[in-house]
Chains A and B, each alone.
Chain A
Amino acid sequence: MALIDQVILFVVDLLALFAVYLIISTGLNMQQGITGIPNFGILFAVAGGAYITGGLSTRLAVILLGIQTNLDPISENIAVLQLVNPILRSQPPTAVVLLILFLMIGGMAGALMGLISSAPAVRLREDYLAITLLAFGEILNVVGIGYKPLIGGPIGVNVPDIFGWAGSYRFYLATLVLLLVAIAIYAFAGYIIKTPFGRTLKAIRDNEIVARSLGKNITQYRTSVILFGSLLCGMAGSLWVLYSGAVTPTYARFDWTFLPWLMILLGGIGSNRGVLVGSLTFVTLNKLIIYYKFEFVGILPFDIVWLNYLLLGIITILILIYRPEGIVQEKWTDPKQNLGAADKPT
């Protein structure tokens, strides 16, 4: 393959991964950066969206396409998809419906996971909240591996090829769709932060006691934000599965908890624009390290499998020491400007 083709492939795949992480980081920033909720359990929501998409999408495709079969969509997954995919490729509208459906279902699964993991903890503060959320993140993987009917156990399952109707442009279409969804979500979060609702979240973050004394229902706000952030993580999980074409119960804490935290840390806690910077930087760095780490076999005194963990860990420590507030400052607009044309005196 010509070099230029290799580069294009690398970039297009990178952009898809960036889109997924942008969504997750946006959700995490709303929780930690804006509201001060240290959610270390976003893995739970991401995996929730991923698993429900993996577990149900084949079954739902069979129903939507009206395919008659006795085969089980999970245990005989490959056989079923051999029936599904050719028909799906010739019916773009059904593919679009499936995409939208699973964005919603994945989002709701994520939100449910977020609710479950936050319910015991939302009245707790800081450390205790963080630990509880972290613990929940581990549960789904254990269930995914052990309970075969969910997503086929350790091997996982494939999902219907919903981008297949674009033929040779499948790859580009998939990335484009992911980017569009990610940008829409990012813009939405930016809007929410500038509303009185967003301002109240920041107030709760900065001084919970005073916020309480001003009549704000702290628990209700926290729950709303955890739900919203988890919904986004579930959507991201779902999108990633549909993009990759398959799901396996190997959603690692490194990829889906540590990395997003690193992204919002670098970007600047609280800054929505920083989320963009942080996500792009670390998706690129991580991918480059993984791509090129085999070049270092024999040169480095340790197993290069751990290279990205090591390098990114060092970078995290450096950021925390030298620039804990991140690269991009928390943005602020005058509330008067923010009102804009929505209310002109008559």
Chain B
Amino acid sequence: MGKLLQVKDVKKSFGNLRALDGVTLNVEEKTVTILIGPNGSGKTTLINVITGFQKPDEGHIHYGSTEITSWSPQQIYRTGIARTFQIPSMFGKLPVLENLLVAEKNNPGESFRKSLLKKLWAKHERDAIEKASRILQLLGLSEQRNTLASRLSGGQMKLVEIGRALMSDANLYLLDEPVSGVNPTLAHEIFARIIGLREQFGITFFIVEHRLDIALKYVDYVNAMASGRLIADGTPEQVINDPKVIEAYLGA
């Protein structure tokens, strides 16, 4: 098993604020890893830098053998990396089903010229609708299929975030607090599905998560951040007993 994602010594500052202070971490293929850390430790910034929403001041990021350090979000998505947002961001005036359909890659109907001839895109669209319907069922959102996204509850929006990522058929999923605001039963189910996807399709997950009570039993590795740096990484047992981690969470 190889290293799917390699982050090397990445630094990012916003003015005087050092959000990322030399982060180095690796994500192995076909693993489920969570990233923990107190608020302000730089977790979301790291996701933003990896997915092209921010450019790092220093450092390199590799996906497989390809360097993706200065790629745009569009290129990142097309190459097989999907991300979700911590604050759920919907296409408010589109129904839930269409929110998922936008995430579909390579739909010929999205080009102006090809959209003119329905035959060129009807099949792909039909398959995309099937896939989206299955994902909605998996997330328990089938009844909200035709509801405008802006009318959903916060928890439901979180699920649509995940659903959108699942539409992408990506190899690497970067999820930013995917189950915050979701009831515990469903949260467990979602994590169980994540494991299932890893088993069945060899998909890799890198998840920012606070709810250790739910997530810990599903993950292979834990990475811990504090003050813009990685302070521990290893198995769940190793990391949560690591004195540096305990101090970062509880210490002054």
Taking beta carbons and an 8 Å cutoff, which residues of A are in contact with B? 192, 195-200, 202-203, 205-207, 209-217, 224, 228, 270, 330, 332, 334-336, 339-340, 342-343
Contacts and interface: CB of A to CB of B under 8 A. Distances in A.
Given A200-B110, A339-B125, A215 B105 contact: yes
B90 A206 contact: yes
B98 interface: yes
A192 B73 contact: no
A199 B51 CA distance: 24
Nearest to B149: A206
Given A203-B102, A210-B89, A215 B77 contact: yes
Interface of B: 51, 53, 72-74, 77-78, 83, 85, 89-95, 97-98, 101-103, 105, 107-112, 115, 118-119, 121-123, 125-126, 129, 146, 164, 168
Given A213-B51, A224-B112, A206 B73 contact: no
Contacts of B102: 199-200, 203, 211, 214, 216
A298 to B, nearest CB: 49
A286 to B, nearest CB: 30
Given A192-B115, A228-B112, 16 more contacts: A196-B107, A196-B125, A199-B101, A203-B102, A213-B53, A213-B83, A214-B77, A214-B102, A270-B93, A330-B93, A335-B125, A335-B129, A339-B122, A342-B119, A342-B122, A343-B123
15 contacts: A196-B107, A196-B108, A199-B101, A200-B110, A203-B94, A206-B92, A210-B90, A212-B73, A213-B51, A213-B73, A216-B74, A332-B95, A335-B129, A336-B126, A336-B129
B188 to A, nearest CB: 27
A25 to B, nearest CB: 19
A270 B92 CA distance: 13
B115 A195 contact: yes
Contacts of B110: 196-197, 199-200, 216
B85 to A, nearest CB: 7
Contacts of B51: 213
A207 B91 contact: yes
Nearest to A206: B91
A270 B73 CA distance: 27
B101 A195 contact: no
B109 A197 contact: yes
Contacts of B92: 206-207
A197 B115 contact: yes
Contacts of B98: 199, 335
A214 B105 CA distance: 8
The 8 lowest CB-CB distance pairs between A and B, nearest first, are A196-B109, A343-B122, A215-B77, A195-B115, A197-B115, A206-B91, A342-B122, A342-B118
A334 B93 CA distance: 14
Contacts of B164: 214
Contacts of A200: 102, 110
B125 A202 contact: no
B103 A214 contact: yes
Contacts of B146: 332, 334
Contacts of A334: 97, 146
Contacts of B78: 215
B74 A339 contact: no
Contact of B126 (A212, A228, A343): A343
Contacts of B122: 339, 342-343
A206 B94 contact: yes
